[in-house]
DNA sequence: CAGGCCATGTAAATATTCTTTACATGACTT
DNA sequence: AAGTCATGTAAAGAATATTTACATGGCCTG
């Protein structure tokens, strides 16, 4: 099925060519502008240049469109995290640092995806694909946590799952509270990246992983 | 101004009596059911038993109603945190523990307020009262951070503001990811409270505040 | 290379929501 | 007792949501 139009702009015939894709992009654009609640089905249709009924051929309702945006988000998220982690090379510390930065970068660079994933009210259980994509993204954090935990002093190794959840919570907390140029949230004396790096260093030290680079007190 | 009805149910005359209050309560009920995006102005009006035009006498639009819910949330939030912190009595450690629990309890017990505050997309800058209420709530965390920082080893005292932001990020992260019985989010092998307590202990140990109670490894 | 299938679109129709405008009510003031 | 004004309703027009009947045209099949 190669319709008249495969995603590009420009004139089209009766059929759009790639409306499903165009609707997702329209949703992203509108979410970026007005938040995950800030778009309507009709508005996405208008933005894509089709009639208000057309989206119903591709998504049952607005929630399903939003869920697909979130699904795409989790997949890109996993890819970004996995690329940053890179199997823990060249060493756990460097890879872990990259991981945190990649997380924040994703939240800042793709705020529409991020808010669709975590603030859109999309029930994870509604869609097995969504659940799986979310699990795969978390699995990257979990891998990193395994490596970190293994570096803790023997006899005091925390459960990797717990460490992974802690990392997730810290990073998500910073990303969602301070990580987006909202201009609507609190002004900070430091960047989200600096804040996260300091927090991670303190946390890792608490785990018994004393990094030599830790020492410059504030 | 003592209208026919001051907030209770039951029959009423032409005037509602306390529509402003009733609308806020209706919004809370609906947010709790369907998220901060899950209610309409008309629905709140119906829930309060008035015509769809009546809410406009009290709020410019839906966003202003939501902002008022958030304002109420920040005020209750500050009260709950301040009560838990209690000036740091009897000792910083115990008070800090209460503070974290109070935070999670608020997020779980008042999910509608919490999501209106942090996930409703309400711009903090839109309303000076809102900004102030948010600042006052954060000031409680900041106070606690001051006391904690003061207990860190001399020469390695982290800035209290940074510590406060870290505490906020960790707690918000856990609360928003795991802290509500969403039944839509990830299942956990431990409670949010346990997760937070462990995380705080590790973080505090990283700050150099070695609690004697820390030692049971996982 | 017709002919038809059917995915994908439109148009039109109904219900709900949004928002304003003109009007009604009645608590409070004097 | 009368007037004022905050607070409500009714009604109307625009936007949105959602379904149904119909139109288009790419692609498969013979």
CATH of the domain at B47: 1.10.10.60
B74 and B181 share a domain? yes
A37 and A124 share a domain? no
Instruction: Determine contact, residues A172/B177, Cβ cutoff 8 Å.
Output: yes
State yes or no: pLDDT of B6 exceeds 50.
no
Closest CA to A69 of A123, A35, A112, A105: A112
Cβ-Cβ contacts under 8 Å, B170 against chain A: 166, 169-170, 173, 199
The length of chain A, given as a count of residues: 218
Nearest residue on chain A to B149, judged by CA atoms? A218
Tell me the two tokens of residue B94.
């115990």
* Distance between CA atoms of residues A191 and A178, nearest Å: 8
The closest CB to that of A195, out of B34, B123, B165, belongs to B165
B203–A201 CB contact, under 8 Å: no
State yes or no: pLDDT of A7 exceeds 60.
no
Answer whether B199 touches A (CB < 8 Å).
Answer: yes
Which chain C nucleotides are covered by protein, judged by CB under 7 A? 7-13, 16-22, 25-28
Instruction: Determine contact, residues A61/A82, Cβ cutoff 8 Å.
Output: no
Size of interface A-B (CB pairs under 8 A): 140
Provide the pLDDT for residue B35.
87
Instruction: Determine contact, residues B12/B5, Cβ cutoff 8 Å.
Output: yes
- Number of structural domains (chain B) is 2
* A101 phi, psi to nearest 5 deg: -65, -40
Tell me which residue range forms the domain holding A27: 19-57
Burial of B105 (0-12, 13-18, 19+ CB in 10 A): middle
Neighbours of B40 (CB within 10 A): 12
Nearest residue on chain A to B116, judged by CA atoms? A119
Closest CA to A160 of A186, A133, A139: A139
A37 and A77 share a domain? no
Q: Which residue has the higher pLDDT, A5 or A214?
A: A5
State yes or no: pLDDT of A176 exceeds 80.
yes
| Residues lining strand C, beta carbon within 7 angstroms | A 1, 3, 14-17, 19-20, 49-54, 57-58; B 1-4, 13-15, 40-43, 52-53, 56, 61-62
A107 and A202 share a domain? yes
For the residues B101-127, what does the mean pLDDT come to?
93
Provide the pLDDT for residue B213.
41
State yes or no: pLDDT of B195 exceeds 80.
yes
Cβ-Cβ contacts under 8 Å, A176 against chain B: 118, 172-173, 176
Tell me the two tokens of residue A191.
């960047």
Domain-embedded: residue A44: yes
Provide the pLDDT for residue A71.
97
Q: Which of residues 106-165 of A touch B (CB under 8 A)?
A: 118-119, 121, 123-126, 134, 138, 155-159, 161-162, 165
Contacts of A124 (CB under 8 A, 6+ apart): A130, A131, A134, B184, B185, B186
Domain-embedded: residue B146: yes
Provide the pLDDT for residue B11.
53
For the residues A194-209, what does the mean pLDDT come to?
96
Residue A7, helix vs strand vs coil: coil
Domain-embedded: residue B116: yes
A118 and A184 share a domain? yes
A173–B178 CB contact, under 8 Å: no
Count each helix (H run) and each strand (E run) in chain B, helices first: 8, 0
CA angle, corner A217, sides to B99 and B155, nearest 5? 90
- Answer positive or negative: Cα dihedral of A180, A183, A185, A190: positive
Residue B112, helix vs strand vs coil: helix
Domain-embedded: residue B90: yes
Residue B168, helix vs strand vs coil: helix
B14 and B102 share a domain? no
B89 and B182 share a domain? yes
* Distance between CA atoms of residues A190 and B149, nearest Å: 18
State yes or no: pLDDT of A1 exceeds 90.
no
B95 and B9 share a domain? no
Q: Which of B59, B80, B95 is the last residue of a domain?
A: B59
State yes or no: pLDDT of B218 exceeds 50.
no
State yes or no: pLDDT of B17 exceeds 80.
no
Answer whether B60 touches A (CB < 8 Å).
Answer: no
A112 and A195 share a domain? yes
Spacing of C-alpha A72 from chain mean position: 10
- Measure B54 CA to C23 C1' (Å): 14
* Distance between CA atoms of residues B47 and B23, nearest Å: 8
State yes or no: pLDDT of B103 exceeds 50.
yes
Domain-embedded: residue A96: yes
A25 and A123 share a domain? no
Instruction: Determine contact, residues A52/A136, Cβ cutoff 8 Å.
Output: no
Provide the pLDDT for residue B38.
84
Which chain D nucleotides are covered by protein, judged by CB under 7 A? 6-12, 15-21, 23-27
Provide the pLDDT for residue B27.
95
Residue A11, helix vs strand vs coil: coil
Radius of gyration in angstroms for the set of CA atoms belonging to chain A, rounded to a whole number: 20
Least confident among A171-175, B35-39, B134-138: B35-39
Q: Closest residue by Cα to the C1' atom of nucleotide C24?
A: B14
Domain-embedded: residue A7: no
- The DSSP 8-state label assigned to residue A188 in this structure reads -
At A115-158, the pLDDT tens digits run: 999 998 888 988 999 999 999 999 999 999 999 999 999 888 99
A191 and A120 share a domain? yes
Tell me the two tokens of residue A95.
């890879």
For the residues A163-175, what does the mean pLDDT come to?
98
Tell me the two tokens of residue B79.
């009260």
Q: Which residue pairs, CB below 8 angstroms and at least 24 apart, start in A93-101?
A: A93/A211, A95/A144, A95/A147, A96/A144, A96/A147, A96/A148, A96/A200, A97/A197, A97/A200, A99/A140, A99/A141, A99/A144, A100/A171, A100/A193, A100/A196, A100/A197, A100/A200, A101/A193
At A29-61, the pLDDT tens digits run: 999 988 898 889 999 999 999 999 999 999 999
Cβ-Cβ contacts under 8 Å, A157 against chain B: 217-218
**Token pair 């680079």 in the structure block, residue:** A213
Domain-embedded: residue B37: yes
Instruction: Determine contact, residues A176/B171, Cβ cutoff 8 Å.
Output: no
Domain-embedded: residue A193: yes
State yes or no: pLDDT of B79 exceeds 80.
yes
- Answer positive or negative: Cα dihedral of B39, B41, B43, B48: positive
A121 and A198 share a domain? yes
CATH number for A85? 1.10.357.10
* Distance between CA atoms of residues B160 and B27, nearest Å: 37
State yes or no: pLDDT of B215 exceeds 90.
no
State yes or no: pLDDT of B171 exceeds 60.
yes
């Amino acid at each position: 099925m190669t319709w008249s139009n495969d995603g590009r702009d420009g004139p089209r015939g009766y059929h759009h060519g790639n409306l499903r894709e165009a609707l997702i992009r329209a949703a992203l654009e509108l979410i970026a502008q007005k938040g995950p609640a800030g778009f309507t089905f009709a508005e996405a249709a208008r933005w894509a240049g089709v009639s208000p009924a057309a989206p119903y051929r591709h998504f049952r309702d607005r929630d399903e469109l939003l869920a697909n945006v979130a699904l795409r988000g989790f997949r890109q998220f996993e890819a970004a995290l996995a690329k940053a982690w890179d199997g823990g090379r060249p060493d756990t510390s460097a890879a872990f640092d990259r991981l945190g930065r990649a997380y924040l970068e994703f939240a800042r660079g793709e705020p529409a995806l991020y808010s669709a994933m975590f603030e859109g009210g999309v029930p994870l259980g509604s869609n097995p694909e969504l659940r799986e994509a979310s699990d795969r993204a978390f699995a990257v954090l979990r891998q990193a946590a395994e490596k970190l935990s293994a570096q803790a002093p023997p006899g005091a190794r925390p459960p990797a799952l717990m460490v992974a959840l802690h990392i997730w919570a810290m990073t998500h907390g910073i990303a969602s509270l301070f990580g987006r140029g909202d201009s609507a949230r609190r002004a900070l004396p430091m960047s989200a990246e600096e804040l996260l790096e300091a927090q991670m260093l303190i946390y890792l030290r608490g785990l018994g992983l004393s990094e030599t680079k830790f020492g410059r007190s504030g």
